[in-house]
Chain A
C-alpha cells in the first residue's frame, strides 16, 4: 500500500470511528434513564386514572427551583407522583408524598433536597441519590443508608435535616429520633462539659457547629468497618474511650437507638444560611417593649375600651380614660361635653345625633353608631369630662 492509499485508509477509518462516537453520543442524549421512568409513570397513570389524565403527565427534565434556598431540585423528573393524588401505595419512584408534611412545607418553597439531601441537580439515579458516588457529601437520607446503619425506622435519618430549621425547638412533631436525642441532652447534662447552641461548659469540645466538621477531620485509627463521620459518632457515643483514648467523657451506656439519635442530632448542628422565615420561632421585627404592651392592653380593656373598639382613638385622645391617640388629629374628647357646646352651640347628644363638618363625614361613612352605642358614647364622654373636672380641682390647689 503506498502512502497515498494509507492516508485514505486513515481518513476513512477515523471517519467511521467518529461517526460511531457521534452515534453513541446522540443515543446517550436521546435515551436518558429518566425517559424510562416517565414512560412507566404515564402507563401507571393511564391504568389507574385513564388516558385523559395520562396526557397531563409532563415530559422532559422537571425542576423545582427555590431561589430563596439556592436550590434547583430535579428529583421530580423521576419521582413524578409526588404531588399526584392516588399513588399513595404506588411503588417508588412514583409514590405520592405524604400530605401532612407537604401542607406545612410546600414543595415550591422548599424543594426536595433541603429535607431529603441528595444531589438535586443530577438527572440520573446514581448521581442524584449519591449514596455510592464520590464527591457528593450529602447522599439522600433514605432507606439505603438506614439499612447500612441498622436504623429501625427507615425514614428516620432525614430528621437530621428537619433539625436544620427546627434546631431550637424543644420538640418537633414527627422528628422522634431528634426529640429523643434532645431529651437525652437535657437528662444527661451534656452542657456540663460541652457548649451547645452557644451555651454550656468548656471541658469538652464546643458542639455548636460540630456537624460542619469534615469527615477527614475525625480520627478513625481506632475504628473498624466503614469510615464515616456518622459511624464515628455511633461508635463514640457507645464507648467514648474506644475512639479517643484520652477522653474524660463517661460511658453513658447508650444503646443503638440512643447512639443513632444522638449521632443524628450532632450531625444536624451545622451553620445554615436559611432565610429567617424558614426558621420556626425566629422573629425579626418590630417587637413592642413591655411598657408599650401594657399601655396597649390598658387601652383595649380599660374604661376607654369603647373608643378603641369604635376606632375613635385613631384621631382623638380621651386623656382621662387613658386613651392616647397616635395622631391627635382631633381634639381631646375628655373635654367634649363642654367643647361641643362651645364650638357648635349644641349639646353633645344633639351633635352626635346630627353631626356637622368632618364628624358628619366620619360618622356616616366610617364609624357607624347604633342608638345604644351613641348613648354609651355620650355617657362615657360625660364621665370622662367629670374626671377631667375632678383632676383640675385637685391640681389647682397645688399651684
Chain B
C-alpha cells in the first residue's frame, strides 16, 4: 500500500520505519543519508570498537567550519588590526567570546581526536585488508595520515591569527624548528613566513592557508577517506565477523554490487565481499546509525560547549617581536618535538650541537614515513584485521604503545613541567612570578 507522503517526509525520513524496505528507502532517497549503507553491522555501531573517533573528528571539523566562517566576518588579517579585532570579539561582539572559544576548543580537540583515531586504527589493525576484493585499506590509512598532518597544519596556522605574544612566539619556535631541515630548511621557513621574519606577509599566508587552502584539502581528503571506507566494505570489524562466519562454515554471501559495473579487481562474475549474514549481525542504518550519530553529535557539541564556557580561549598581550615571553612554547601538540629538541641539544664545552635537526626533523619525519609504510610492512595474517590488540600483532602494538607513551610524556613535560628558561618544574613547584610594569 502506497502511503501518501507529506513534503516534510520527502525532505526528511522516518525515525520509526514500518518495514526494512522503508528503512532502506530513507537511505536511498535522502541526500544526507545516501552515503550510508542500507544496513550496518552492530559491531560497527558499537562504541567499544571504534569510539566513533573518526565521526567525532568530522563533527569537530564541521563545528570549526561553521564558527570559522562567523569569525571570518569579524577578524581582520592585518598586523595592526588583528589583535584589536580579536579583542572586539571578546568584548563587544554578541556571543563573540563564546564563538571564539568554541573554535579554539574544537581545534585542540580535533588534533587530539584525530590522533586518537589513528591510534585506534593501529591497535585494531584496521589498516589491513580483509578477504574481500577491491579493498585498499593501506591506502586509506595513508589518506588518514595526510588528514592528521593537515589537521596539525590547520591548527598551527590558526594559532598565529590572534597576533598575540602566544601566537607570535609559538610560530617563531615552530618555524625555527622547520628551518633546521638540511639544505632546504631556511627556504622552507622563508616560504612559510613570506620573508625572513614573522610579519604581515606571514599573517596573510597563514590566513589564506587556514581559511581556504587547508580546509579545502581536508574536505577533499575527507570525502576520499569516506568513499574508501565504503569501498573497503565498511569498518575492519566487519571483516572479522565475515571471517568468523566462514570458520562457522556459513556459505559465503554472494553480492553483485560492483561486478556489473566491472570496476572490481576480482576475476569472477560473482564477487565475494565482506558482507555478513544480514539478519543475525546487521540492523537498518535508518534509524539505528542515524540515532547513534545524533547522540554522538550532541555529546560532541555538549563537551565543546561546556569546555568553551569553562575554559575559554586565551589571549595574551599584543605580539611584540622585541620581547620574548619566558618560556616561549610551540603549540602543545608540537611540544614533544620542542622537548625532544631540548633533550637532544648537547653542550660540549663551548660547543653546542643543536638538536633541532634530530628532534625537529629526523624523528618526526621518520615517524611519519614509518607510519605510512607500516601497513605494507605488517605481514600479520587476516585474522588480526579489526581486532583490538590481536595476539599476532602483539609486539608491534606494544612498540606502538611505547612510542605513543613516549610522545605523551614528552608532551606533558613540555606543556606542564617546563617553566622559564625551559627549566624543569614539578607541578607543586611554583614558577617565578612574571614581572609586570606596575
Contact = CB atoms under 8 A, between A and B. Distances in A.
B298 A216 contact: no
Interface in A1-34: 4, 7-8, 10-11, 14-15, 17-18, 21-22, 24-25, 29
A363 interface: no
Contacts of B98: 25
Nearest to A117: B438
Given A21-B302, A216-B435, A10 B91 contact: no
Interface of B: 80, 84, 87-88, 91-92, 94-95, 98, 164-165, 288, 291-292, 294-295, 298-299, 301-302, 305-306, 309, 315-317, 320, 322-323, 325-326, 433-438
Contacts of A17: 302, 305-306
Given A121-B84, A137-B436, A267-B437, A127 B91 contact: yes
12 contacts: A11-B298, A14-B298, A17-B306, A21-B309, A74-B92, A121-B87, A122-B87, A137-B436, A216-B323, A216-B435, A217-B323, A220-B435
A139 interface: yes
Contacts of B298: 10-11, 14-15, 18
Residue with the highest number of chain B CB atoms closer than 10 Å, among A10, A22, A124:
A10
A14 B435 contact: no
B24 to A, nearest CB: 18
A139 to B, nearest CB: 5
A220 B315 CA distance: 26
Given A7-B291, A7-B292, A14-B301, A122 B91 contact: yes
A72 interface: yes
A152 B301 CA distance: 54
A11 B290 CA distance: 12
A180 interface: no
B438 A228 contact: yes
Residue with the highest number of chain A CB atoms closer than 10 Å, among B298, B322, B323, B438:
B438
A27 to B, nearest CB: 11
A134 B435 CA distance: 10
A127 B92 CA distance: 13
Interface string A109-126: 000000000000111100
Given A21-B306, A214-B323, 20 more contacts: A7-B292, A14-B295, A15-B298, A18-B302, A21-B309, A74-B91, A122-B87, A124-B91, A136-B317, A137-B436, A139-B438, A145-B438, A148-B438, A214-B322, A218-B435, A227-B435, A229-B435, A229-B436, A229-B437, A230-B437
B95 A228 contact: no
B299 A121 contact: no
Nearest to A221: B432
B98 to A, nearest CB: 5
Interface string A121-159: 111100100010011111101000100100000000000
Nearest to A30: B94
Residue with the highest number of chain B CB atoms closer than 10 Å, among A8, A61, A124, A216:
A216
Contacts of B305: 17-18, 21-22
Contact of A72 (B84, B315, B433): B84
A173 to B, nearest CB: 25
A316 B292 CA distance: 98
Nearest to A228: B436
Contact of A29 (B80, B88, B94, B291): B94
B437 A135 contact: no
B396 to A, nearest CB: 32
A229 B436 CA distance: 6
Contacts of A205: none
Contacts of B91: 74, 121-124, 127
Closest 6 A/B residue pairs (Cβ): A14-B298, A215-B435, A10-B295, A214-B323, A227-B435, A21-B305
A248 B359 CA distance: 46
Contact of A228 (B291, B323, B437): B437
Contacts of A25: 95, 98, 309
Interface residues of A, number: 44
Nearest to A122: B91
A135 B317 contact: yes
A123 B92 contact: yes
Contacts of B88: 121
A126 B301 CA distance: 30
A74 B92 CA distance: 10
Contacts of B433: 227
Residue with the highest number of chain A CB atoms closer than 10 Å, among B94, B305, B433:
B305
A230 B436 CA distance: 9
Contacts of A145: 438
B214 to A, nearest CB: 28
A307 B323 CA distance: 64
Nearest to B315: A135
A289 to B, nearest CB: 39
A228 B435 contact: yes
Nearest to B98: A25
A217 B87 CA distance: 27
Contacts of B316: 134-135
Interface in A263-319: 267
Interface string A215-250: 111101000000111100000000000000000000
A63 to B, nearest CB: 8
A272 to B, nearest CB: 16
A14 B300 CA distance: 9
A31 to B, nearest CB: 13
Contacts of B436: 137, 215, 227-229
Given A18-B305, A135-B316, A7 B435 contact: no
A131 B437 CA distance: 10
A145 B84 CA distance: 25
Given A29-B95, A121-B91, A138 B437 contact: yes
Contacts of B320: 214
Contacts of A121: 84, 87-88, 91-92
Nearest to A71: B84
Contacts of A216: 323, 325-326, 434-435
A24 B435 contact: no
A38 to B, nearest CB: 15
B435 A8 contact: no
